[in-house]
Amino acid sequence: MSIAVTTQFICFAVLSLVIIVGALGVVLLENIVYSAFLLGGVFMSVAGLYLLLNASFVAAAQVLVYVGAINVLILFAIMLVNKKEDLKPMKYLNSRRLISTTICITLLSLLIRVDLSKVWKIANPNLSIGEESTVRIGEHLFSDYLLPFEVASVLLLMAMIGAIVLARRDVLTKDISTGLPVDQELIEKSDKPLLIKKN
């Protein structure tokens, strides 16, 4: 084995190990903030795997979309959650864990079966298009897949606007730390009586 192949194998092993450990941490850790940060590490490792496959555009899109947008959105959603509220015990927790574990093991066994049953061919490096892949993806993205691309962007925009409206409505109606209405809290803190307009 040459030095390049050995280096590529070591990078693949390290990235795969980071993905597996990070994914287990996302699922098993009780602290949701740690899970969100581990999810960002998993996304970055997947981008590294794309770089090993000479897919630089997909790796950049992975970092920009998943790490820079979705993971940050998840962190903001975690920060907006009221941490003082006690979590209620879930009903039928053991049965839910059993069902989810069964589904995950079934999907994993199906993936392993597909991986072992299919004959994977090694691609010829001489046939690789290299940097032209970005041009090809751009051509297909703005011609054949223009409508799904625009629909997905509109859906993401609607979700972002809805999240902002819901978060802003909670802030305007009551204070997160005290749970009191905003007008009532102003009345209690003020020495002089306030005039409140009622609709």
Could you give the CA distance from residue 71 to residue 65 in angstroms, rounded to a whole number? 9
In a domain, 100, yes or no: no
Q: The CATH number of the domain where 21 resides is what?
A: 1.20.120.1200
Residue 71 lies in a domain: yes
Quick check: is 41 in a domain?
Answer: yes
Same domain, 140 and 74: no
Residues 6 or more apart whose CB falls under 8 angstroms from that of 80 comprise 167
Per-residue model confidence as pLDDT tens for the chain (199 residues)? 788 889 999 999 999 999 999 999 998 888 888 888 999 999 999 999 999 888 888 888 889 888 888 888 787 777 776 555 566 677 777 888 899 889 989 999 999 999 899 887 776 766 666 667 778 878 888 888 888 888 888 887 887 777 676 666 555 555 555 666 655 444 455 444 444 444 4
Residue 92 domain-assigned? no
Please say whether the beta carbons of 75 and 36 come within 8 A.
yes
As given in the structure block, the two tokens for residue 96 are 């839910």
Q: Indicate whether 75 and 137 sit together in one domain.
A: no
Residue 43 lies in a domain: yes
Look-up: residue for tokens 């899970």? 35
pLDDT at 3: 87
Say whether both 71 and 141 belong to one domain. Answer: no
Check residue 15 and give its pLDDT.
95
From CA 147, how far away is CA 155, in angstroms rounded?
Answer: 12
Per the structure, the count of domains in the chain is 2
Q: List the domain range (segments joined by +) for residue 9.
A: 1-81
Give, as one character, the DSSP assignment of residue 64. I
Measured between alpha carbons, how far is 39 from 66 in angstroms, rounded to an integer? 10
